[in-house]
Structure 1
Amino acid sequence: MRFTFLIYLLYISLFISCKQPEYHLTKIEGKQIGITDSLKNVSEIDSFIKPFRSHLNKDLDSVLAYSVGTYSRDDGKFNTAIGNFMADVIYEQSNPVFKSRTGHDIDMVLLSYGSIRTIVSKGDITTRTAFELMPFENNIVIVALKKPEIDKMLEYLCKAKKANPFSKLKLVIDQDYKLIEATIKNHKIEEDKTYYVATQDYLYNGGDNMTFFQPNDSLYKIDYKVRNAIIDYFKKTDTISPTIDDRFIQITP
């Protein structure tokens, strides 16, 4: 019996001595490695990606249309040629898709000033132009809104004091940025009407503080990226020559 007890103690001692020590993370260190000319190329990697790069550049540099001028989001105070162009393109390209699926027409389009990421230069327009203009994977969505939400949208646009692109909407404000008149498709905004507003999913989710899209009556996803709509429009259009117009103006004494 005593011999058995000694064996038991020996077993416990061996078990304890073989137990792995516990380690705990106490500190993490790191450093930034800048991507500069000082980094050496890896020939094996370059050789591997070369055919993919060549194919991609060929697609990106393919000419789709021609621009008669150079257009920037900073060309106007309340609306710009390039902003008007983008909003009008979203309407033209997405409305047939939306109507075929729902039987409704889009009433207006609203994008954001920040949606325009670069200029469109005079000359050839390529696929690369579209990617630079809209580098993000934003999708077009259509939101069903009633007048209270539309009113919040108009208040936002007046207070923003910038050229947020929109289409089929017209705004007139006074010198104090107060709304004088607003129409959608040249009609005054009706109390009980449902308005179908096309926008980016980023804005629908509250981007740029556009919180007026929620709550809403319905949300429609048409599986169409903003960039793809622009590319499709370029492909069917020989020449673009957008203009600044009267869709958003300020009347001063």
Structure 2
Amino acid sequence: MDLKIKHFVIFITIGLTFSCKQQIQNVASMEGNEIRLDTSIPQKDSINAYIKPYRDRVNHILDSTLAYAPKKITKVDGPYNTTAGNLLADIVFSEGAPIFKSRTGKNLDFVFLNHGGIRSIISQGKISARTAFEVMPFENTIVVVELSGKSVKKLLAYLLESGMAHPISGMQIVLNTDNTLASVKIQDKPFDENRHYFVATSDYLAAGGDSMIFFKEALSVTTIDYLIRNAMIDYFKRVDTVAPKVDYRFYKLTP
């Protein structure tokens, strides 16, 4: 009797095993439709009521006044350096250098960014966190790249050939009337091709973005985990008035 029960149990188990085996399903066809998410979709009062406290809180944080600009700050008010470019480069230097120093024990030499990375003007009046998001909407972080003197020469050649006011800080470049280099100083000392320099830039440019392939020759790269946008916000919180000027960090000699 026990033997018959055992055989029955084995038979049932085998039957259940095969009956539960999943069959492979193949997709015969697939269709898709584009649904536009815009103002044509009617709003739902229940959803609006639910998200309103969060929206109001975010807008309050973004629009709270952090500093004041006595005049418009833009990236098109100078041929070789601009108010917006100088402000951004100086912020990256002032906010990034102490972090780099604390992590490596080394000093930052200069900052080099791209003109196209500045996406908005700063209007005259109050400056808020939203201002930083408008100027720098990307999630770019500050990185410090160690370059040889030869690579810095390529950086300078790129800057001259581009014909654009790329933001710089910690460096002074003077052109002759024929657009050749008259002098280059880094931290108020003449450029030395035989030494290495620590250059702060964005992670995008450090990876060779905007054809800045000289950054790929980096001897070392230090990521300080600091969004450029957050550096701007931290700077705005520390100061009362933001009034950058077109200056003599990059200029051309007159005849």
Q: Tell whether the structures are fold-level matches, with TM greater than 0.5.
A: yes
Equivalent AA in structure 2 for residue 200 of structure 1: S
**Partner residue of 1:225?**
227
Aligned partner (choices 26, 33, 36) of residue 33 of structure 1: 36
Residue of 80, 84, 87 corresponding to 1:85: 87
The amino acid of 1:100's aligned partner reads: S
The answer to whether the 8 Å contact 2:68/2:126 transfers is yes
Deviation of residue 174 (structure 1)?
Answer: 3.7
Compute the displacement of 1:21 (Å). Answer: 9.0
* 1:168-213 per-position Cα deviation (integer Å, ceiling 9, x unaligned): 1111224554333222112222132110000000111111111110
Percent of residue pairs identical: 42
Partner AA of 1:231 in structure 2? I
Inter-partner Cα distance in structure 2 for 1:132 and 1:143: 26
Provide the secondary structure at the position in 2 that maps to 1:75. coil
Q: Which residue of 1 aligns with 2:106?
A: 104
Task: Report how many residues are paired.
Answer: 233
- 2: CA distance between counterparts of 1:217 and 1:32? 49
44 and 194 in structure 1: CA distance in 2 versus 1, 3 angstrom threshold = same
Return the letter of the residue paired with 2:59. N
Q: What is the distance in 2 between the residues matched to 1:101 and 1:72? A: 33
Give unpaired runs (5+ residues) of structure 2.
1-22
Greater mean alpha carbon deviation, residues 42-51 or residues 223-232: 42-51
Do residues 164 (structure 1) and 151 (structure 2) align?
no
Matches within 5 A, 1:58-77: 58-77=60-79
Counterparts of residues 104-253 of structure 1 (less than 5 Å): 104-251=106-253, 253=255
State the shift of 1:42 in Å.
2.3
1:20 CA displacement: 8.9
Question: Aligned letter for 2:211?
Answer: N
Shift in CA distance, 98/44, structure 1 to aligned 2, threshold 3 Å = same
Q: CA RMSD, aligned part only?
A: 2.0
Q: Which of 217-226 and 45-54 deviates more?
A: 45-54
Report the AA paired with residue 195 of structure 1.
Y
Unaligned runs of 5+ in 1: 1-18
Task: Give the residue type in structure 2 aligned to 1:222.
Answer: I
TM-score, length of structure 1 as denominator length:
0.85
- AA in 2 matched with 1:124: K
Aligned AA (1:202):
Y
